[in-house]
C-alpha cells in the first residue's frame, strides 16, 4: 500500500523538529503535526546557556531557528490535534481533529505538560494570579511580590527571572535542598530580593477574584503560615502527554512511553523521542539526541518495509 507519508512526527518540540529535519534530509516524505505551538517548552525560556555552541540565546530564537530548518528541508507542517494512532502493521494511520494520514513509521514526540499542585484555589485562580509560566506572565508583576513553588532548575530559573522586576520573590520548596543545578541555586541565593521558604508545602491558595496569599505548611513543625503575594508561579514538574497512545504502546506507571536509548517502543514501526519517554535526564540536548536517534531508526524501518 502506498501511504501519504513515509514518517509522521507527532509533536513539534525540540525532539520532534530535530527528528523531522533528520527524516527529511534522509529523503523521507515527512509530516510534522503540532497542536499548541512549535518549539515546545523551550520557546518560553528567556535565556538558554547550556546548549552546545550557544552561550547565550533565547529559547524562542533557538526554536525558531529549528522550525525554519524543518521548512528548508521540505518538512510539511500541520497545526492539528492528534487524537489517536491506528497500527495496521504494514502502515499506521494518524487520526487528528482535521483528518487522517497514513505513513510507514511514526515518531511520538508529544513532550510533557505542567503538573498542578491540586490544592484548593488553584484552578479557580489560574489566570488570576496563578500561572505556570513566568516568562509568559511575569511582566504583570512589575514592582509586586511573586512566589515560585518548586525545587528544580525550572523553578530556580523562574525565580531569577522574576527577581529582575518584582519587588520580592519567594521560592517555596518542600525539601531543604534544591534538585536544580547548583549554579542556579547559588545564583538565586545571592539575589537580595529572593527569599527561600524551605521544608514547606502550599496547602491553599487564597483570593476571591484574584490571588492575595498562599497558605504554607511547614513539614517539620506542621505549623501553617500565610505568605501574601500578588502572583504564584507553579514549577513542580511535568506529566507526559501520552494518554491517547495507551492502547498503542506500553506506558510506565507514570504514563511515560517505555523506551530505552534506541527510542523504539513496544509497537513495531512506532518510535518516540524527548520528554514523553522514560529517561533519567530531560534536557534540550537529550531531546535533540532522541530526535536524531528516533529519526534514523524510523528511516531504517521505512527502508525495510
For the CA atoms of 266, 103, 100, 110, the dihedral, rounded to the nearest 10 degrees, stands at 50
d(CA 8, CA 173): 40
The secondary element (H helix, E strand) that includes residue 112 is: strand 112-114
Helix (H, G, I), strand (E, B) or coil at 284: helix
Quick one: which of 267, 208, 230, 240 has its CA closest to 88? 267
**Which residues are catalytically annotated?**
133, 136-137
Quick one: which of 154, 54, 278 has its CA closest to 286? 278
**What is the secondary structure of 36-75 as a DSSP string?**
S-TTGGGGG-S-B-SBTTBSSB-HHHHHHHHHHHHHHTT-
Q: Which residues pair with 216 in a beta bridge?
A: 202, 225
d(CA 162, CA 171): 11
Our measurement of the distance from residue 161's CA atom to the centroid of its chain's CA atoms, rounded to an integer in Å, reads 18
CB 193 within 8 A of CB 167: yes
Work out whether the CA dihedral 67, 73, 79, 80 comes out positive or negative.
negative
Helix (H, G, I), strand (E, B) or coil at 149: strand
Q: Is 290 exposed, middle or buried (0-12, 13-18, 19+ CB in 10 A)?
A: buried
Amino acid at each position: 500500500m502506498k501511504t501519504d507519508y513515509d514518517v509522521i512526527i507527532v509533536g513539534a518540540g525540540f525532539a520532534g523538529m530535530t527528528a523531522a529535519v533528520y527524516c527529511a534530509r534522509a529523503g523521507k516524505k515527512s509530516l510534522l503535526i503540532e497542536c499548541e505551538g512549535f518549539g515546545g517548552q523551550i520557546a518560553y525560556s528567556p535565556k538558554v546557556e547550556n546548549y552546545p555552541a550557544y552561550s547565550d540565546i533565547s529559547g524562542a530564537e533557538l526554536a525558531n531557528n529549528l522550525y525554519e530548518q524543518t521548512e528548508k528541508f521540505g518538512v510539511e507542517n500541520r497545526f492539528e490535534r492528534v487524537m489517536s494512532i491506528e497500527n495496521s502493521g504494514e502502515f499506521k494511520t494518524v487520526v487528528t481533529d482535521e483528518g487522517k494520514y497514513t505513513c510507514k513509521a511514526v515518531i511520538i514526540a508529544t513532550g510533557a505538560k505542567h503538573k498542578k499542585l491540586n490544592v484548593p484555589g488553584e484552578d479557580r485562580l489560574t489566570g488570576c494570579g496563578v500561572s505556570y509560566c513566568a516568562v509568559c506572565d511575569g511582566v504583570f508583576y512589575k514592582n509586586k511580590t511573586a512566589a515560585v513553588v518548586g525545587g528544580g532548575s525550572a523553578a530556580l530559573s523562574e525565580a531569577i527571572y522574576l527577581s529582575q522586576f518584582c519587588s520580592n520573590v519567594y521560592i517555596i520548596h518542600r525539601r531543604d535542598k534544591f534538585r536544580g543545578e547548583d549554579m542556579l541555586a547559588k545564583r538565586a541565593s545571592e539575589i537580595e530580593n529572593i527569599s527561600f521558604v524551605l521544608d514547606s508545602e502550599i496547602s491553599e491558595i487564597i483570593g476571591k477574584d484574584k490571588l492575595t496569599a498562599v497558605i504554607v505548611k511547614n513539614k517539620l513543625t506542621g505549623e501553617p503560615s500565610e505568605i501574601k503575594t500578588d502572583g504564584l508561579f507553579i514549577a513542580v514538574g511535568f506529566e507526559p502527554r501520552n494518554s491517547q497512545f495507551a492502547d498503542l504502546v506500553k506506558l510506565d506507571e507514570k504514563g511515560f512511553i517505555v523506551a530505552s536509548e534506541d527510542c523504539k517502543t513496544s509497537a513495531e514501526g512506532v518510535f518516540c523521542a524527548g520528554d514523553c519517554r522514560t529517561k533519567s535526564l530531560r534536557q534540550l540536548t537529550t531531546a535533540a539526541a532522541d530526535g536524531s536517534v528516533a529519526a534514523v531508526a524510523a528511516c531504517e524501518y521505512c527502508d525495510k518495509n
